[in-house]
Copies of this chain bind each other. A is one copy, B any other.
Protein backbone atom coordinates (compact mmCIF):
# COMPACT_ATOMS: atom_id res chain seq x y z
CA UNK A 1 0.00 0.00 0.00
CA UNK A 2 0.94 3.66 -0.09
CA UNK A 3 1.83 5.54 3.09
CA UNK A 4 3.29 8.90 4.05
CA UNK A 5 6.72 8.91 5.68
CA UNK A 6 8.96 11.74 6.83
CA UNK A 7 12.68 11.30 6.22
CA UNK A 8 13.89 14.53 7.76
CA UNK A 9 12.95 18.19 8.09
CA UNK A 10 10.97 19.23 5.03
CA UNK A 11 11.24 15.75 3.49
CA UNK A 12 7.84 14.07 3.28
CA UNK A 13 7.26 11.28 0.77
CA UNK A 14 4.48 8.88 -0.07
CA UNK A 15 6.04 5.45 -0.48
CA UNK A 16 5.18 1.80 -0.95
CA UNK A 17 5.09 -0.21 2.26
CA UNK A 18 3.76 -3.67 3.07
CA UNK A 19 0.05 -3.88 3.76
CA UNK A 20 -0.64 -3.94 7.50
CA UNK A 21 -1.72 -7.31 8.90
CA UNK A 22 -3.21 -8.46 12.17
CA UNK A 23 -0.32 -9.14 14.51
CA UNK A 24 -2.11 -9.48 17.82
CA UNK A 25 -5.59 -10.77 18.59
CA UNK A 26 -6.60 -7.29 19.83
CA UNK A 27 -5.65 -5.61 16.53
CA UNK A 28 -7.90 -4.34 13.80
CA UNK A 29 -6.98 -3.34 10.28
CA UNK A 30 -8.63 -0.09 9.28
CA UNK A 31 -8.83 1.26 5.76
CA UNK A 32 -8.35 5.02 5.97
CA UNK A 33 -11.24 7.06 4.57
CA UNK A 34 -10.13 10.50 5.75
CA UNK A 35 -6.88 11.65 7.32
CA UNK A 36 -5.22 15.01 7.71
CA UNK A 37 -2.07 16.91 8.54
CA UNK A 38 -1.72 18.29 12.06
CA UNK A 39 -0.09 21.51 13.19
CA UNK A 40 2.06 19.29 15.42
CA UNK A 41 3.31 17.45 12.29
CA UNK A 42 4.99 20.73 11.41
CA UNK A 43 7.31 20.46 14.42
CA UNK A 44 9.25 17.47 12.96
CA UNK A 45 8.77 19.05 9.52
CA UNK A 46 10.99 21.84 10.84
CA UNK A 47 13.39 19.90 12.95
CA UNK A 48 13.49 16.15 12.31
CA UNK A 49 17.07 14.91 11.83
CA UNK A 50 17.53 12.93 8.60
CA UNK A 51 16.53 9.28 8.94
CA UNK A 52 17.06 6.61 6.29
CA UNK A 53 14.10 4.49 7.37
CA UNK A 54 11.70 7.38 7.69
CA UNK A 55 8.86 7.77 10.16
CA UNK A 56 5.23 6.89 9.34
CA UNK A 57 3.15 10.06 9.58
CA UNK A 58 -0.41 10.90 10.51
CA UNK A 59 -2.27 10.44 13.78
CA UNK A 60 -5.77 11.56 12.83
CA UNK A 61 -8.09 9.38 10.79
CA UNK A 62 -11.55 8.10 10.16
CA UNK A 63 -11.76 4.74 8.48
CA UNK A 64 -13.57 1.48 7.90
CA UNK A 65 -12.74 -1.71 9.77
CA UNK A 66 -11.53 -4.32 7.28
CA UNK A 67 -10.43 -7.10 9.58
CA UNK A 68 -10.33 -7.79 13.30
CA UNK A 69 -8.22 -9.98 15.52
CA UNK A 70 -9.96 -12.82 17.33
CA UNK A 71 -10.18 -10.94 20.65
CA UNK A 72 -11.82 -7.83 19.22
CA UNK A 73 -15.35 -7.88 20.57
CA UNK A 74 -17.03 -4.56 19.81
CA UNK A 75 -16.09 -3.96 16.18
CA UNK A 76 -16.69 -5.78 12.93
CA UNK A 77 -15.78 -5.46 9.27
CA UNK A 78 -17.53 -2.51 7.71
CA UNK A 79 -17.81 -0.35 10.85
CA UNK A 80 -16.92 3.29 10.33
CA UNK A 81 -14.63 4.36 13.16
CA UNK A 82 -12.85 7.39 14.56
CA UNK A 83 -9.33 6.88 15.88
CA UNK A 84 -7.93 9.16 18.58
CA UNK A 85 -4.32 10.30 18.22
CA UNK A 86 -3.23 7.88 20.92
CA UNK A 87 -4.27 4.25 21.12
CA UNK A 88 -5.25 2.87 24.51
CA UNK A 89 -6.78 -0.16 26.20
CA UNK A 90 -9.73 1.69 27.68
CA UNK A 91 -9.62 -0.48 30.78
CA UNK A 92 -6.60 0.51 32.87
CA UNK A 93 -6.88 2.93 35.76
CA UNK A 94 -5.62 5.89 33.71
CA UNK A 95 -8.15 5.21 30.95
CA UNK A 96 -10.95 4.88 33.47
CA UNK A 97 -9.87 8.24 34.90
CA UNK A 98 -10.06 9.70 31.40
CA UNK A 99 -6.30 10.06 30.92
CA UNK A 100 -5.98 7.77 27.90
CA UNK A 101 -2.72 9.43 26.83
CA UNK A 102 -1.15 7.82 29.91
CA UNK A 103 -2.71 4.39 29.24
CA UNK A 104 -0.58 1.65 30.77
CA UNK A 105 -0.62 -0.34 27.54
CA UNK A 106 -1.19 2.36 24.95
CA UNK A 107 0.97 4.30 22.56
CA UNK A 108 1.11 6.63 19.62
CA UNK A 109 0.81 6.17 15.86
CA UNK A 110 3.96 5.94 13.81
CA UNK A 111 6.09 4.38 16.51
CA UNK A 112 7.18 0.88 17.51
CA UNK A 113 5.93 -0.85 14.41
CA UNK A 114 2.58 0.91 14.27
CA UNK A 115 1.90 2.87 11.08
CA UNK A 116 0.44 6.32 10.64
CA UNK A 117 -2.89 7.63 9.48
CA UNK A 118 -1.68 9.36 6.31
CA UNK A 119 -1.83 6.03 4.50
CA UNK A 120 -4.21 3.69 2.79
CA UNK A 121 -4.60 1.51 5.85
CA UNK A 122 -3.23 1.01 9.34
CA UNK A 123 -3.03 -1.64 11.99
CA UNK A 124 -4.86 -0.44 15.10
CA UNK A 125 -3.66 -1.95 18.36
CA UNK A 126 -6.12 -2.51 21.20
CA UNK A 127 -8.92 -1.83 18.77
CA UNK A 128 -11.77 -2.24 21.27
CA UNK A 129 -10.31 0.41 23.52
CA UNK A 130 -9.02 2.71 20.82
CA UNK A 131 -11.69 3.03 18.15
CA UNK A 132 -15.11 4.62 18.40
CA UNK A 133 -17.75 3.35 16.00
CA UNK A 134 -19.98 6.01 14.49
CA UNK A 135 -23.39 5.43 12.88
CA UNK A 136 -22.65 6.94 9.47
CA UNK A 137 -21.41 5.61 6.16
CA UNK A 138 -18.22 6.48 4.37
CA UNK A 139 -20.16 8.79 2.07
CA UNK A 140 -21.37 10.91 5.00
CA UNK A 141 -21.05 14.69 4.73
CA UNK A 142 -20.01 14.66 8.38
CA UNK A 143 -16.68 12.92 7.85
CA UNK A 144 -14.61 16.10 8.06
CA UNK A 145 -16.22 17.08 11.35
CA UNK A 146 -15.91 13.55 12.69
CA UNK A 147 -12.24 13.60 11.76
CA UNK A 148 -11.63 16.59 14.06
CA UNK A 149 -12.54 14.29 16.96
CA UNK A 150 -9.30 12.43 16.25
CA UNK A 151 -7.33 15.33 17.61
CA UNK A 152 -7.97 19.03 17.14
CA UNK A 153 -11.49 19.23 18.52
CA UNK A 154 -10.72 17.03 21.52
CA UNK A 155 -7.46 18.91 22.02
CA UNK A 156 -9.15 22.30 22.03
CA UNK A 157 -11.80 20.87 24.33
CA UNK A 158 -9.13 19.50 26.67
CA UNK A 159 -7.59 22.96 26.91
CA UNK A 160 -10.93 24.44 27.91
CA UNK A 161 -11.88 21.62 30.30
CA UNK A 162 -8.53 21.68 32.10
CA UNK A 163 -8.73 25.47 32.38
CA UNK A 164 -12.12 25.13 34.05
CA UNK A 165 -13.90 27.28 31.47
CA UNK A 166 -17.52 27.99 32.35
CA UNK A 167 -20.05 30.78 32.09
CA UNK A 168 -18.25 32.85 34.73
CA UNK A 169 -14.77 32.72 33.18
CA UNK A 170 -13.32 35.05 30.61
CA UNK A 171 -11.10 33.31 28.09
CA UNK A 172 -8.11 34.16 25.92
CA UNK A 173 -7.21 31.69 23.19
CA UNK A 174 -3.65 32.03 21.88
CA UNK A 175 -3.25 30.76 18.34
CA UNK A 176 -5.56 30.77 15.35
CA UNK A 177 -4.56 27.34 14.06
CA UNK A 178 -7.07 24.51 14.03
CA UNK A 179 -6.55 23.73 17.72
CA UNK A 180 -6.95 27.36 18.70
CA UNK A 181 -10.19 27.59 16.76
CA UNK A 182 -11.41 24.37 18.36
CA UNK A 183 -10.50 25.84 21.74
CA UNK A 184 -12.74 28.79 20.90
CA UNK A 185 -15.58 26.46 19.91
CA UNK A 186 -15.07 24.42 23.08
CA UNK A 187 -14.97 27.46 25.35
CA UNK A 188 -18.21 28.61 23.80
CA UNK A 189 -19.77 25.17 24.33
CA UNK A 190 -18.71 25.27 27.97
CA UNK A 191 -20.56 28.54 28.41
CA UNK A 192 -17.88 31.24 28.16
CA UNK A 193 -19.37 34.60 27.22
CA UNK A 194 -16.13 36.47 26.60
CA UNK A 195 -13.60 34.78 24.33
CA UNK A 196 -10.62 36.77 23.07
CA UNK A 197 -8.83 35.12 20.17
CA UNK A 198 -5.21 36.09 19.57
CA UNK A 199 -4.32 35.48 15.95
CA UNK A 200 -3.31 37.45 12.93
CA UNK A 201 -4.69 35.52 9.96
CA UNK A 202 -7.98 37.15 9.23
CA UNK A 203 -9.58 34.21 7.44
CA UNK A 204 -8.87 32.14 10.52
CA UNK A 205 -9.93 34.68 13.09
CA UNK A 206 -13.11 35.29 11.09
CA UNK A 207 -13.86 31.58 11.45
CA UNK A 208 -12.96 31.95 15.11
CA UNK A 209 -15.63 34.62 15.45
CA UNK A 210 -18.15 32.22 13.94
CA UNK A 211 -17.07 29.59 16.46
CA UNK A 212 -17.66 32.03 19.31
CA UNK A 213 -14.78 34.49 19.67
CA UNK A 214 -16.11 37.84 20.89
CA UNK A 215 -12.86 39.75 20.34
CA UNK A 216 -9.84 39.29 18.12
CA UNK A 217 -6.38 40.60 18.95
CA UNK A 218 -4.02 40.53 15.98
CA UNK A 219 -1.00 41.98 17.79
CA UNK A 220 1.59 39.71 19.33
CA UNK A 221 4.13 39.98 22.15
CA UNK A 222 3.93 43.04 24.39
CA UNK A 223 1.48 44.81 22.08
CA UNK A 224 -0.81 41.78 22.12
CA UNK A 225 -0.61 41.56 25.91
CA UNK A 226 -1.43 45.26 26.20
CA UNK A 227 -4.41 44.85 23.89
CA UNK A 228 -5.87 41.96 25.90
CA UNK A 229 -5.31 43.86 29.13
CA UNK A 230 -7.07 46.87 27.71
CA UNK A 231 -10.02 44.68 26.75
CA UNK A 232 -10.21 43.32 30.31
CA UNK A 233 -9.88 46.44 32.44
CA UNK A 234 -6.19 45.78 32.95
CA UNK A 235 -6.64 42.37 34.54
CA UNK A 236 -6.31 39.75 31.82
CA UNK A 237 -8.66 36.77 31.57
CA UNK A 238 -9.46 34.02 34.06
CA UNK A 239 -8.34 31.37 31.61
CA UNK A 240 -5.81 31.30 28.81
CA UNK A 241 -5.85 28.44 26.31
CA UNK A 242 -2.39 28.21 24.71
CA UNK A 243 -2.65 26.38 21.38
CA UNK A 244 0.74 27.08 19.83
CA UNK A 245 3.59 25.54 21.79
CA UNK A 246 6.33 28.07 21.13
CA UNK A 247 7.91 30.13 23.90
CA UNK A 248 6.51 33.50 22.73
CA UNK A 249 3.01 32.03 23.07
CA UNK A 250 3.79 30.93 26.62
CA UNK A 251 5.14 34.37 27.49
CA UNK A 252 2.00 35.87 26.01
CA UNK A 253 -0.08 33.54 28.18
CA UNK A 254 1.69 34.77 31.30
CA UNK A 255 1.08 38.32 30.15
CA UNK A 256 -2.67 38.00 29.70
CA UNK A 257 -3.72 35.74 32.57
CA UNK A 258 -5.61 37.25 35.48
CA UNK A 259 -4.22 36.71 39.01
CA UNK A 260 -5.60 33.43 40.31
CA UNK A 261 -6.26 32.32 36.75
CA UNK A 262 -5.27 29.29 34.70
CA UNK A 263 -3.00 28.83 31.70
CA UNK A 264 -3.96 25.63 29.89
CA UNK A 265 -1.46 24.44 27.28
CA UNK A 266 -2.25 22.06 24.48
CA UNK A 267 0.28 23.27 21.92
CA UNK A 268 3.17 20.81 22.23
CA UNK A 269 5.91 22.85 23.99
CA UNK A 270 8.95 23.39 21.82
CA UNK A 271 10.91 24.31 24.94
CA UNK A 272 11.66 22.58 28.20
CA UNK A 273 12.62 25.41 30.58
CA UNK A 274 10.41 28.46 31.01
CA UNK A 275 9.57 31.09 33.62
CA UNK A 276 7.43 29.80 36.49
CA UNK A 277 8.81 31.72 39.48
CA UNK A 278 7.53 34.59 41.57
CA UNK A 279 7.48 37.01 38.66
CA UNK A 280 5.42 34.80 36.37
CA UNK A 281 3.20 32.05 37.79
CA UNK A 282 3.83 31.96 41.53
CA UNK A 283 3.30 35.57 42.61
CA UNK A 284 -0.18 35.88 41.09
CA UNK A 285 -1.22 32.31 42.02
CA UNK A 286 -1.55 31.31 38.38
CA UNK A 287 -2.15 27.64 37.64
CA UNK A 288 -0.46 25.96 34.67
CA UNK A 289 -2.18 22.90 33.28
CA UNK A 290 -2.72 20.92 30.09
CA UNK A 291 -0.84 18.35 28.12
CA UNK A 292 -1.49 15.89 25.31
CA UNK A 293 -5.27 15.65 25.20
CA UNK A 294 -6.81 12.30 26.08
CA UNK A 295 -9.12 12.83 23.11
CA UNK A 296 -10.47 9.30 23.43
CA UNK A 297 -12.27 10.50 26.55
CA UNK A 298 -13.97 13.30 24.64
CA UNK A 299 -15.14 11.52 21.49
CA UNK A 300 -18.38 10.16 22.96
CA UNK A 301 -19.38 13.38 24.78
CA UNK A 302 -18.64 15.57 21.75
CA UNK A 303 -20.09 13.22 19.15
CA UNK A 304 -23.83 13.93 19.48
CA UNK A 305 -23.56 17.60 18.57
CA UNK A 306 -21.39 16.72 15.59
CA UNK A 307 -23.86 14.09 14.42
CA UNK A 308 -26.87 16.38 14.78
CA UNK A 309 -25.02 19.20 13.02
CA UNK A 310 -25.28 21.71 15.84
CA UNK A 311 -21.51 22.18 15.64
CA UNK A 312 -19.47 21.98 12.49
CA UNK A 313 -15.80 21.69 13.52
CA UNK A 314 -14.91 20.29 10.09
CA UNK A 315 -14.87 23.87 8.85
CA UNK A 316 -11.24 24.06 9.94
CA UNK A 317 -10.39 22.10 6.79
CA UNK A 318 -9.83 24.58 4.02
CA UNK A 319 -8.09 22.31 1.53
CA UNK A 320 -8.35 18.72 0.42
CA UNK A 321 -5.77 16.50 -1.28
CA UNK A 322 -5.36 12.90 -2.34
CA UNK A 323 -2.86 10.72 -0.52
CA UNK A 324 -0.19 11.21 -3.18
CA UNK A 325 -0.36 14.96 -2.60
CA UNK A 326 0.24 14.74 1.15
CA UNK A 327 3.73 16.33 0.82
CA UNK A 328 2.07 19.38 -0.73
CA UNK A 329 -0.33 19.47 2.20
CA UNK A 330 2.64 19.86 4.56
CA UNK A 331 4.05 22.61 2.38
CA UNK A 332 0.78 24.50 2.26
CA UNK A 333 0.27 24.32 6.02
CA UNK A 334 3.86 25.27 6.70
CA UNK A 335 3.50 28.30 4.41
CA UNK A 336 0.20 29.07 6.17
CA UNK A 337 -1.55 28.97 2.84
CA UNK A 338 -3.81 26.31 4.30
CA UNK A 339 -5.24 26.18 7.82
CA UNK A 340 -5.67 22.40 7.86
CA UNK A 341 -5.53 19.99 4.97
CA UNK A 342 -7.78 16.96 4.64
CA UNK A 343 -6.26 13.89 3.02
CA UNK A 344 -8.49 11.49 1.05
CA UNK A 345 -6.65 8.24 0.40
Known A97-B260, A260-B97, A260-B99; judge A277-B269 contact (CB<8 A): yes
Interface string of A110-144 (1 = CB under 8 A from B): 00000000000000000000000000000000000
Q: Who on chain B is nearest to A263 by CB?
A: B288
Segment of A18-26, A172-180, A279-287 engaged in the interface with chain B:
A279-287
| Bound CA span A99–B289, Å | 19
A94 contacts across to B, CB distance below 8 A: 259-260
Q: How far is the CB of A309 from chain B (nearest CB, A)?
A: 31
Q: Of residues 177 to 213 in A, which have CB atoms within 8 Å of B's CB atoms?
A: none
Q: Tell me whether A166 is interfacial, beta carbon within 8 Å.
A: no
Overall SS of chain A's interface: mixed
Q: How far is the CB of A9 from chain B (nearest CB, A)?
A: 19
Q: Is the CB of B259 within 8 A of A102?
A: yes
Interface string of A328-344 (1 = CB under 8 A from B): 00000000000000000
Q: Tell me whether A292 is interfacial, beta carbon within 8 Å.
A: yes
Q: How far is the CB of A264 from chain B (nearest CB, A)?
A: 9
Q: Tell me whether A272 is interfacial, beta carbon within 8 Å.
A: yes
Most chain B CB atoms below 10 A, which of A265, A278, A279: A278
Q: Tell me whether A53 is interfacial, beta carbon within 8 Å.
A: no
Q: Is the CB of A260 within 8 A of B102?
A: yes
Q: Tell me whether A224 is interfacial, beta carbon within 8 Å.
A: no
A99 contacts across to B, CB distance below 8 A: 259-260, 285
Interface string of A220-253 (1 = CB under 8 A from B): 0000000000000000000000000000000000
A287 contacts across to B, CB distance below 8 A: 162, 287-289
Q: Is the CB of B274 within 8 A of A277?
A: yes
- How many residues does chain A have at the interface if contact means C-beta atoms less than 8 Å apart? 34
Q: Tell me whether A275 is interfacial, beta carbon within 8 Å.
A: yes
Q: Is the CB of A283 within 8 A of B273?
A: no
A276 contacts across to B, CB distance below 8 A: 269, 272-274, 276, 288
A283 contacts across to B, CB distance below 8 A: 291-292
Q: How far is the CB of A164 from chain B (nearest CB, A)?
A: 11
Q: Is the CB of B277 within 8 A of A285?
A: no
Q: How far is the CB of A243 from chain B (nearest CB, A)?
A: 13
A150 contacts across to B, CB distance below 8 A: none
For the A-B complex with A99-B260, A288-B289 known, give 13 more contacts whose Cβ atoms are closer than 8 Å.
A99-B285, A265-B282, A268-B282, A269-B278, A273-B273, A273-B275, A274-B274, A276-B288, A281-B291, A283-B291, A284-B291, A285-B291, A287-B288
Identify 16 residue pairs between A and B in the complex whose beta-carbon atoms are under 8 Å apart, listed by A's number: A99-B260, A102-B260, A162-B285, A265-B282, A268-B278, A268-B282, A269-B278, A272-B276, A272-B279, A274-B276, A281-B288, A281-B291, A285-B291, A287-B287, A288-B288, A288-B289
